[in-house]
Amino acid sequence: MENANNVLVDVQDLKVQFFLHEGTVHALEGVSFQIQQGKTLGVIGESGSGKSVTAQAIMGIIPSPPGKVVDGRVLLNLPENGASVRVVNVTELPPSGSEIRSIRGKEVSMIFQEPMTSFSPVHTLGNQIMEAVRIHYPEVSKREARERAIEMMRRVGIPRPEERIDAYPFQFSGGMRQR
């Protein structure tokens, strides 16, 4: 692991297969890369090339069955108490276990390609952001969660977040929902 102190995500020889009635689909065969702190990694490829499966593996959300990580590792270097780092191998965690649930959304997040289907249409965007804040920070009051949601919306460039927090997803453009 080069420059180990700055590596946040380390994907090593990842292999994912889907076991279907028609046969086995080898979705990923030996994918390896690192994401360093403060850096962005763009993943491009044709439809069906494994971009989404790679992201799902990092998040620990490969649909199982029929999918399975059959080899490789996804290591997350998570900050703990100051300068120390806790290394977590996502591929060894139960997909619905408490440890991976505490990591998803707080330490590692995924921006889905279709923002209209990522949010509930019957709840305001603010309530959905506040719910995520309170899941990961249970000590936060409802009022503080609202303030954090407004600040998050401001940081990603949503105009008038104090007003827009009570709007529904369909009232935002696709680009705004993706933010």
pLDDT tens, 126-170? 988 898 888 878 899 999 999 999 998 898 888 889 988 998 887
Number of domains, the chain: 2
Domain boundary, last residue among 93, 125, 156? 93
Tell me, yes or no, whether 102 lies in a domain.
no
Average pLDDT over residues 96-119: 71
Residues 67 and 129 in one domain: no
Tell me, yes or no, whether 105 lies in a domain.
no
Tokens of 47: 């439809």
Domain boundary, last residue among 93, 123, 139? 93
Domain that holds residue 120: 115-178
Residues 126 and 173 in one domain: yes
Q: What is the pLDDT of residue 116?
A: 53
CATH number reported for the structural domain that contains residue 25 in this entry = 3.40.50.300
Q: What is the 3-state secondary structure (H, E, C) of the chain?
A: CCCHHHEEEEEEEEEEEEEECCEEEEEEEEEEEEEECCCCCCCCCCCCCCHHHHHHHHHCCCCCCCEEEEEEEEEEEEEECCCEEEEEEHHHCCCCCHHHHHHECCCECCCCCCHHHHCCCCCCHHHHHHHHHHHHCCCCCHHHHHHHHHHHHHHCCCCCHHHHCCCCHHHCCHHHHHC
Residues 127 and 165 in one domain: yes
Tell me, yes or no, whether 54 lies in a domain.
yes
Residues 123 and 62 in one domain: no
- Least confident among 19-23, 78-82, 130-134: 78-82
Residues 143 and 82 in one domain: no
pLDDT category of residue 117 using cuts at 50, 70 and 90? low
Domain boundary, last residue among 93, 123, 144? 93
End-to-end alpha carbon distance in the chain: 31
